[in-house]
Amino acid sequence: MSTTTKNQNPESDPRVKAVFDDIRATRKSDFINNMWHYLAFDPGLLETTWAEVKAVMATPSALDPLVKELLYIAVSVTNGCGYCAHSHTAAARAKGMTDEQHADLLRVISLAAKTNQLATALQLPVDPVFDADHHP
Amino acid sequence: MSTTTKNQNPESDPRVKAVFDDIRATRKSDFINNMWHYLAFDPGLLETTWAEVKAVMATPSALDPLVKELLYIAVSVTNGCGYCAHSHTAAARAKGMTDEQHADLLRVISLAAKTNQLATALQLPVDPVFDADHHP
Amino acid sequence: MSTTTKNQNPESDPRVKAVFDDIRATRKSDFINNMWHYLAFDPGLLETTWAEVKAVMATPSALDPLVKELLYIAVSVTNGCGYCAHSHTAAARAKGMTDEQHADLLRVISLAAKTNQLATALQLPVDPVFDADHHP
Amino acid sequence: MSTTTKNQNPESDPRVKAVFDDIRATRKSDFINNMWHYLAFDPGLLETTWAEVKAVMATPSALDPLVKELLYIAVSVTNGCGYCAHSHTAAARAKGMTDEQHADLLRVISLAAKTNQLATALQLPVDPVFDADHHP
Amino acid sequence: MSTTTKNQNPESDPRVKAVFDDIRATRKSDFINNMWHYLAFDPGLLETTWAEVKAVMATPSALDPLVKELLYIAVSVTNGCGYCAHSHTAAARAKGMTDEQHADLLRVISLAAKTNQLATALQLPVDPVFDADHHP
Amino acid sequence: MSTTTKNQNPESDPRVKAVFDDIRATRKSDFINNMWHYLAFDPGLLETTWAEVKAVMATPSALDPLVKELLYIAVSVTNGCGYCAHSHTAAARAKGMTDEQHADLLRVISLAAKTNQLATALQLPVDPVFDADHHP
């Protein structure tokens, strides 16, 4: 079930083939997951989306690669995105997430969901000390 | 603006005082933020909430304390909880988050929000390889 | 701060006046909260919105009036709607919500947010017994 | 999988039949999608829901019918509603949405999700010039 | 489809068995739904989650048990949690929810979603009278 | 109130100045709203964010500029992003949105929120005819 048609021969388009080749080279794997197969209906959208994912997730930066995957899971779960929860949990495991870390991740993000709900229900006024502008 | 009244003298209730004392001891600080002041309208709710926050966030576990704060921010922002975004960004800074890490956090969680939206718009079928049950 | 202008003299429009009169009569109060003042920029939108709120919330039905307010709070908080959390918590109090019930409401809706997060993170398969169609 | 039973013979109830007849006449099609089949467990709920959908979506108004479908998709995707993403993407296509417009829709709504995340993470103060009340 | 493996013999772990036994005793039923089977990958997470669900949902408190299930549904639906919508609708039925109450629940929570959207779109200023702190 | 400090002299950094100059040139206005002032704490994040907003929102494409603003509002409101609701409602007005169109926008997005809630509550099975893959 999807809202666009999956192209049966996406790499006949050279722009799509170039992106798929770069995904395979970057990930050192022949597997191309459905996200990229379905985005291929518009090569421009495929190119800009992959370029950003590569720049943010597959390029060394201030945060550790596994930490970035955990953050991706946290957002995906909070947004209720099933595809994303599946793909990024698999990615986190591939990057070394242990069962203990997985359980700890669940503890933190489910507690955050709970206290978010409390804070919103109480409509808490922000403590002035938390304002970055007024306390540099 | 809030939906419950802030108790002007919360520590006159010994159950509230015990929680506030433990917050101060755990955090090594005299500051009690509004979350706890407002939850104090029901001492039982205050006790169980603090006990869980302490167990998950202030006790050594499989994930690093700063990573746990970053995850808390990711969920809070995705839930649109302003109070929580303020308090946990401040907490992450207190635990050593640099500006570079903060910018990287924003890059990851905003990219995740974007690709979540794409995955949901396309209603992507989950690739079988992502199913933990079928690929142990 | 708002995204539409608040009409300074809304009841000069007879359609707005008719709705405001019905709000006052239904609630037995002279107070008209901001929701209706701001919706008044389009009398048609004001009329249909009030008609539905009156039919659902101010008309006897299968659920108790206070229960309906608690449900309204639950949705509003989960959606992160500050205005709605404030107005419906006030309405629930006016309909008799006690502090004990308020704390219990917070316990249920924050636990639900937490277990929702767990269920989504785990991507739990629905137990067949929960399908209404297959177990009539 | 659903949470209510699908009535096997819904049109035996004359109120349901009247709504189904009006859906067929309005859409000039014999197809009745699952939304209406499942809402039929309560004829009153079916009637008011269809009346509002017909008034808003199938009646000429200030916005173009295709634009209204695109907006419906935007909300449905942001809410993570799979059924709605499927049904309204199909409806937009039936009203003439091209692949180029579909890709453009995805670009806009995924960018919006991204900058929403940034604005909420930064807890940006609203620029006074954006307040409709103070700058008429 | 799930993101963790379902243990085929969970009760070989005595901590898991103790929780499952308590679930069966509390609910007076042999059925253990998937939530608990999948959480069993981490006995500590299983124990604390069940302890909280039991304390909040299966212990007499200020709100009626059926009302608590309706609130759970309201949050679950608003969060877009399919598993939770299924399990708690089934639970509400088991606690006596009638079709009329179910339809009324749908009326209230869908109206709340609609007016939440309006209030957020208009960015309504909170009426001072709704502030619990200023009107004790 | 914000979670990062607003730079008092952002254009002393030539990368920030270049982006601000391009914003002014693109929009033909001297006004730089808070989004860009606060993102300036990380010039790289500022550059990539503005580049994407310019490419998607300020470049001719398959959808009309005003339609793109309406879609932006729809997502922003559904995500509960107050800053975004304010800034994009102002932008839509600047691009010609009338009061009648604004009211129609509110009617569509609030109806979508309502029927999303119903579809999720009912956990409707997707009609096979809505699957793009099976009906090309």
Q: What is the DSSP string of A55-115?
A: HHHSS--SS-HHHHHHHHHHHHHHTT-HHHHHHHHHHHHHTT--HHHHHHHHHHHHHHHHH
- CB contact F3 to E (< 8 Å): no
Residue F111 covered by a domain: yes
Same domain for F45 and F67, yes or no, is no
Kind and range of the H or E run holding D78:
helix D65-78
Residue C135, pLDDT score: 53
Q: 């997707």: which residue's tokens?
A: F126
The pLDDT value recorded for residue F136 is 45
| pLDDT given for residue D135 in this prediction | 52
One domain for residues D48 and D68? no
Task: Answer yes or no: do A75 and A115 share one domain.
Answer: yes
Alpha carbon of C49: minimum distance to chain F alpha carbons (Å) = 9
Q: Within this chain, do residues C51 and C67 fall inside the same structural domain, yes or no?
A: no
Indicate the residue of C86, C113, C120 with minimum beta-carbon distance to A123.
C86
pLDDT of B26? 97
Q: How many domains does chain A have?
A: 2
Residue spans of chain C under pLDDT 50: 136
pLDDT in tens, A62-74: 999 999 999 999 9
Statement to judge: residues E49 and E76 lie in one domain? no
Q: Are residues B74 and B37 in the same domain?
A: no
CB pairs under 8 A between D and E: 22
The Cα–Cα gap between F69 and F88 comes to 6
Q: Which residues of C touch D132 (CB under 8 A)?
A: 2-5
Contact call for D81 and E80, based on CB within 8 A: yes
Domain boundary among the residues E59, E77, E98 is at: E59
F50 in reach of chain D (CB within 8 A): no
The count of CB pairs under 8 A between chains C and F is 22
Percent of chain E's residues with pLDDT above 70: 99
E132 within some domain:
no
Residues B13/B40, Cβ–Cβ less than 8 Å? yes
E60-87: pLDDT as tens digits = 999 999 999 999 999 999 999 999 999 9
Q: How many angstroms separate the CA atoms of F25 and F45, rounded?
A: 20
As a whole number, mean pLDDT of residues E92-113 equals: 98
Interchain contact, E103 vs D3, CB within 8 Å: no
Contact with chain A for residue D106, Cβ under 8 A: yes
Task: Output the average pLDDT for chain B.
Answer: 96
Min Cα–Cα distance to chain F from A103, Å? 28
The pLDDT tens digits for F86-109 are 999 999 999 999 999 999 999 999
Q: Is residue A6 part of a domain?
A: no
Between C85, C105, C121, which is nearest A120 by CB? C85
Q: What's the pLDDT band for B135 if we cut at 50, 70, 90?
A: low
Point out the domain boundary residue: E15, E32, E59: E59
Domain annotation covers residue A68: yes
Contact C118 A106 (CB under 8 A): yes
Q: Please give the residue of chain A at the shortest CA–CA distance from D88.
A: A3
What average pLDDT does chain D have?
A: 96
Instruction: Find the CB nearest C133 among D6, D52, D133.
Output: D6
CA distance B128 to chain A (A): 10
Nearest CA distance, F52 vs chain D (angstrom):
8
Does residue C86 sit in the same domain as residue C52?
no
Instruction: Inform me whether the C-beta atom of residue C125 falls under 8 Å from chain F C-beta atoms.
Output: no
Which residue in chain C is spatially nearest to F100 when comparing CA positions? C42
Touching check for D123 and chain C: CB below 8 Å? no
The residue written with tokens 């299968």 in the block is C62
E-only strand ranges, A4-118: none
Tell me: pLDDT of F15 over 70: yes
Give Dmax (Cα) for chain F: 58
Q: Does E103 touch chain D (CB under 8 A)?
A: yes
pLDDT bracket for residue F135 (50, 70, 90)? low
Q: Are residues E2 and E26 in the same domain?
A: yes
Q: For residue C45, give Cα distances in angstroms to B55, D64, D70, E123.
A: 49, 18, 21, 16
Is C26 part of a structural domain of the chain? yes
Helices (H), chain B: 14-27, 34-39, 43-57, 65-78, 82-94, 99-122
The answer to whether residue E129 is domain-embedded is: no
pLDDT higher than threshold 80 for residue F124: yes
**Is residue D131 in some structural domain?**
no
- What are A24-43's pLDDT values in tens digits? 999 999 999 999 999 999 99
Domain boundary (B59, B82, B102) is at B59
Interchain pair E110, F121: CB under 8 A = yes
* Min distance C34 CA to chain E CA atoms (Å): 6
Q: What residue has token string 């088991």?
A: E94
Number of inter-chain CB pairs under 8 A, B vs E: 32
A46 and A29 part of one domain: yes
Alpha-helical runs (H) found in F7-98: 14-27, 34-39, 43-57, 65-78, 82-94
Q: Which of A2, A55, A130 is nearest residue F131 as measured by Cβ atoms?
A: A2
pLDDT class of D136 with cuts at 50, 70, 90: very low
Tens of pLDDT along B21-73? Answer: 999 999 999 999 999 999 999 999 999 999 999 999 999 999 999 999 999 99
CB-based contact, E127 to chain C, within 8 Å:
yes
Q: Does residue A51 have a pLDDT over 50?
A: yes
Contact C80 F80 (CB under 8 A): yes
DSSP notation for F34-54 = HHHHHHTTSHHHHHHHHHHHH
Does E51 contact chain C (CB < 8 Å)?
Answer: no
Residues D19 and D4 reside in one and the same domain: yes
pLDDT of residue C136: 45
| C106 lies within 8 A of chain B by CB | yes
Domain that holds residue E105: 61-122
Which residues of chain C does F117 touch, with a Cβ-Cβ cutoff of 8 Å?
75
- Chain E's closest residue to A91, CA to CA, is E3
Interchain pair F41, B80: CB under 8 A: no
Provide the percentage of residues in chain F whose pLDDT is more than 70.
99
| d(C-alpha C84, C-alpha E116), whole Å | 6
pLDDT digits (tens, 9 = 90+) for D4-30: 999 889 999 999 999 999 999 999 999
The answer to whether C94 contacts chain B (CB < 8 Å) is no
D120 contacts on B by Cβ (under 8 Å)? 77, 80, 82, 85
Distance CA D132, CA C37 (A): 14
CATH of the domain at C83: 1.20.1290.10
ipTM, 2 dp: 0.96
Contact of A5 with chain F, judged by CB distance below 8 Å, is answered with: yes
Q: CB of A48 within 8 A of CB of F59?
A: no
Instruction: Answer yes or no: is F74 within a domain.
Output: yes
| Touching chains, E (3+ CB pairs < 8 A) | A, B, C, D, F
Residue F116 and residue F90 share a domain: yes
Coil, strand or helix at C98: coil
Cα distance between residue B33 and residue A9, in whole Å: 58
Shared-domain flag, residues D1 and D55: yes
Contact status of E93 with chain D (Cβ, < 8 Å): no
What the block records as the tokens of A38 is: 């379905």
